[in-house]
Structure formats: C-alpha cells, structure tokens
Amino acid sequence: MPSPDITRRLTNTLLSQDVDSLNGLKAIPTYETTRPQASLKTLQHAYQTMLTQQQLETEKLALYRAATDAARLAEWEFHNAVLAMKEFVRGQYGSDSNEAQAVGLKKKSDRKRPTRQKAVAVS
C-alpha cells in the first residue's frame, strides 16, 4: 500500500467523520487497545492539538490578510504621491521641460502629431 500524501490538506468532510468517530468511541466504556496511538488518551490529545493548530492558523491568516491590506494601501498611497509629484513638476516646469522628462513624463515636443490618413475607397 502506498504511503498517504501528507502534503495535502484533509477535506472538512473527512475531518468531520473523524470527529464523529472519536465522539462515538467515547460512548464505548469497554474500549481498550494495545496500540498506544489508538488509545483514547492519545486520540483526545491529537484532537486538542489539531484544534489548537487550526485556531493558530486562523489567527495567522487574519494577521496575513491585515498585513496584505496594509501593504496594498501603502502601495496606493505611494502611487498617488508620485502622481501628485508629476502633476506638480508639470505645472511648475512645464510639460516640455527637462525636469518633466526626468520624472518619467514625455516631453510635449517629443510627441508625434497625428497624421491624417487617406480614406481608402472600397470598390
């Protein structure tokens, strides 16, 4: 039998079935096993550990989402500040200045004038 792939997450359905099985086991007062990993104490400890780790994961996901939102907002604030700086440079030095070109704007004189295209007659 091939070993299971433990790199993938278990489905919620399977975990729910496992919890139901644990709860059903608690209803069997005569359950005793020689396998230590199948003892009720070990199962309860593994269940509590799983719940703790899931809670920790949820808390870290919330922190991650908050950090992502903060980074996104900081990016937009920076972008808007750069746009405001470009407008100010264009207003103070003119749209055909070297200063405008230095901040990434195209000089007005470097733009090509639109050319009129001849209409092609379809026959």
Q: How high does pLDDT run on average in the chain?
A: 92
pLDDT-based confidence at residue 123 (cuts at 50, 70, 90):
low
Cβ-proximal residues to 100 (8 Å cutoff; 6+ apart), any chain: 86, 89, 90, 93, 94, 107
Residue 85: its pLDDT value, please?
95
Mean pLDDT, range 41-51, rounded to an integer:
96
Q: Which residue has the higher pLDDT, 122 or 70?
A: 70
Q: pLDDT by residue (tens digit) across 62-100?
A: 999 999 999 999 999 999 999 999 999 999 999 889 999
The C-alpha atoms of residue 105 and residue 23 are separated, in whole angstroms, by 68
